[in-house]
Structures are given as structure tokens and as C-alpha cells.
Chain A
């Protein structure tokens, strides 16, 4: 069974601070995705990383896929209250159905 462990589970910071969220697994994934989910809504895709060692930047968000494709991190610079939400990592192992295996998420609160 493939598992994705996310840490920390909860994070509360002040506006302007930097933060990093981690996603780790003992399994190799063909690709990994990060989503953000707000209360009462479905997850919204932020990024897909495919190549080991890959780094992608999306404005103040930086995503990294580990060299062995077993782990990933999300770094947010100068967090804003609008960044508040549940951040989910999801691994895709390929195969015929491409199901996503999700972590439990990191609940981020950015206080003004």
C-alpha cells in the first residue's frame, strides 16, 4: 500500500513569514501533484512534477520533487492570508488507471 506522509499537519504563521511543507513516501511515484483545498470546495491543482530533482516555481510558491521521486516539498515565501487552506500532495504511480494517492494534508493558517 502506497502512503504519503505530510508534515506538519497544522501550521499557523503570521503574514510575511516563509514556510515549507513536506510530503514523504517509501514508494516511487511517476508524478506528484500539489493541490490546495478551501472549506466546502474541491481540491484545486497547483502543480504537477514529473522528473526527479525537478523544481517548479509559481509566483511565491516553489515545488521540488526529490531525486528518487519519493518525496516533495512546497515552500511559500512571504505568506499572505489568501494562502490559507489545506495543502494536499498526491502521488500518481502510473499504470492503467492513474489513481491519485493523497496525503492527509497540511492545514495552513496565515494570520494578518
Chain B
């Protein structure tokens, strides 16, 4: 089975620009979550998509938006980029929880975004 694939691996953007990051989930996984990991920090939850709908959102402004497609792949869009948006963006896919417990996420290698 294939893992989670993210593209691009690295990206440099200018403040104020817009960016789209892409994620292909692991085969059979129907839930995709996005996380932002700043240098020296743990990942922070941005939002989750399940069956093409947003299923929870962290403390991120509306300029962070996303999509999930019928094949469960996903996009993260960030508008009006700010310097503080520079981080590693991680996509994680999973199966539906079993008896109320999610038994683990498969993370991609991430997209390193630098805003200058």
C-alpha cells in the first residue's frame, strides 16, 4: 500500500501571495487532517476533512482553507501569506475511528513553506 504523498516538498513564496499544497492520502483512508509545524514546535491542528466536508478546525484564520476530493486527496490553500506562515505543513490520513478511538495517523513528509 502507498503512504501519504505531499507536493511540493519545498516552496518559497512572497508575503501577500497565495499557495496551494496537495496531499494524496494512504490507500483506503477516508479522513485527511492538516497540521502546521513551526521550527522547534509540535504540529498544530489546522483542520480535518471527512467525506469531502470540513470536520473540525483548529485556531487558524479563515485565510487557511481546504478541500477534499472524491478520491480522498486534499488541498490546503493559504491566502495573503504572512511571514509567520513559514513552517512545515503536514498532511495525515486515517481510517474512521473504531469504537470511538482513532488508532493512528499516517503522516506525509510535509511541505516546507518559506515566506519571504
Contacts and interface: CB of A to CB of B under 8 A. Distances in A.
Given A30-B101, A94-B101, A100-B33, 18 more contacts: A30-B100, A31-B102, A35-B107, A40-B110, A42-B107, A42-B108, A42-B109, A42-B110, A43-B107, A45-B104, A92-B101, A96-B56, A97-B48, A98-B97, A98-B102, A100-B43, A100-B105, A105-B41
Interface in A71-111: 88, 90, 92, 94-105
B42 interface: yes
Contacts of A88: 42-43
Given A42-B109, A92-B102, A99-B33, A104 B55 contact: no
Main secondary structure of the interface of A (DSSP, over half): loop
B82 to A, nearest CB: 22
| 9 smallest beta-carbon distances between A and B, as pairs | A97-B56, A42-B107, A102-B42, A45-B104, A99-B45, A98-B102, A97-B55, A97-B48, A104-B42
Interface size class of B (residues with CB under 8 A): 20 to 34
Contacts, number: 73
Interface size class of A (residues with CB under 8 A): 20 to 34
Given A88-B42, A103-B42, A31 B101 contact: yes
A99 B104 contact: no
B78 interface: no
